Amino acid sequence: MIPRSFFAAAFLAIAAFADPPLTTIQDVLYKADGTRFTGTLTISWTSFEAIDRSAIATQVTTVSVTDGNLRVQLVPTTTATPTAKYLVKYNSDGRIQFSETWAVPSSTAPLRVRDVRVASSLSAATAGADTGTTNPLQESDVTGLVADLGARPLKGPGYAAGRVAVVNPSGMMESAVGNASDCVHVDGSSGPCGGSQPGFYDGDSPSGIVDGANTNFALSATPSPASSLAVYRNGILQKSTQDYTASGNAIQFVAASTPQPGDTLLASYRLAISDDSGAAQTFPSSQVLCSGTGIPNTATSFASLGQCNIPGGVLLPGDRVEIHFDADHQGTAGGFSIEVHWGGSTALHRDAATGDLQVTGRADAAILTSGAYLSAESWGTVLPFAAGVANASDDYSSGVTIDFQGKVGAAGDTLTLRNYTVVRLP
């Protein structure tokens, strides 16, 4: 005969593993436009212990809602240890519409959503982990937040609202100091805007009698530098020392170039002005420094086909010089070679075959504080396209010569520089 104490122990063991109590939430859900909600509810929670001491593990469940009808059974959380809540996400039309938090009490009768909804729900990131505490979220608790904040500029002691922001030497953000009408420089300093107007003359008419005998004329101002002076007679650029000489603002033409009655004289030049750098004002637009047709060469050794002499004081750091040329080859005895020299540096060298009748190319010189960066490209009738770069250390402050040189590969052929142009871009 089995003693009663055995049955009592067995009953207690079965009770210990019984399902936890459940509360039914049953309701009809609507959208704001009055139509019934259709979608899913994703319900998540963290582990807790139910009132009957059942261990509820962290989990997520999905409940379908069709035509607004919701019915789900959940373990009560208001009597749980620790107090827990459910995070409920409403999904419809392929995306999460909104989320809220439920606190489910023990009830034998079905409850509506309004009976379990927590008025001040937690965020989607923290509601499921709520433990009933109200400790503030620390910056270090958010992954990457401290590093992102450290990458932002800090507010410096000189920061003030409503002013231009500058970055001080310590990397902190401050406000520019100065008058409201001042201009801010790139180093953060400020000062009065404007200053001297552009120092150049375009289309200056030299004073003097144009009668075929007078050779002395005067400019309205003194060119600075003197090499910036460009004198035009009837639109034709006159060459310094060959057609005229200049001293200060005075121009004296040589006898062979004496202006004749009816001639028009014009001059363009820079002026000496004071600015932040102390340098003379540059020309405001592109300037053709040289152009010509060149000469032929029938020798098998390199010889100059044409030159452009840029005087000292014309080029400034930041300028760019463009060099264009065209040459042709006559004869079938051999090929030819052509080079473009920037001072003592070779900007371009090409060796062409017998079948190359024409060759063209261009080179650029980017003017640095000292020297220049050179780049070049060229191609011909048969000669393939080629490009290259080089570094020139030539001192351009006292002037630089651009020399087009060429040679033929065999006697009887001719290489001719048909055209070249040198343009300065300020």
Model confidence at 221, pLDDT cuts 50, 70, 90, reads confident
pLDDT tens sequence across 93-114: 878 778 899 999 999 999 999 9
CB 372 within 8 A of CB 424: no
Fold exhibited by the domain 200-270 = Immunoglobulin-like (2.60.40)
CATH topology agreement for domains 200-270 and 287-425: no
pLDDT tens sequence across 302-321: 999 999 998 887 888 888 99
Instruction: Tell me the domain boundaries of the chain.
Output: 17-129, 200-270, 287-425
pLDDT tens sequence across 158-206: 777 878 888 888 788 888 887 777 788 877 787 777 655 557 777 888 8
Predicted confidence (pLDDT) at residue 229 exceeds the cutoff of 70: yes
- Global pTM reads 0.39
Please provide the CATH number assigned to the domain covering 17-129.
2.60.40
Predicted confidence (pLDDT) at residue 130 exceeds the cutoff of 50: no
In CATH terms, 287-425 corresponds, of 2.60.120, 1.10.260, 2.20.25, 1.10.3470, to 2.60.120
Predicted confidence (pLDDT) at residue 6 exceeds the cutoff of 60: no
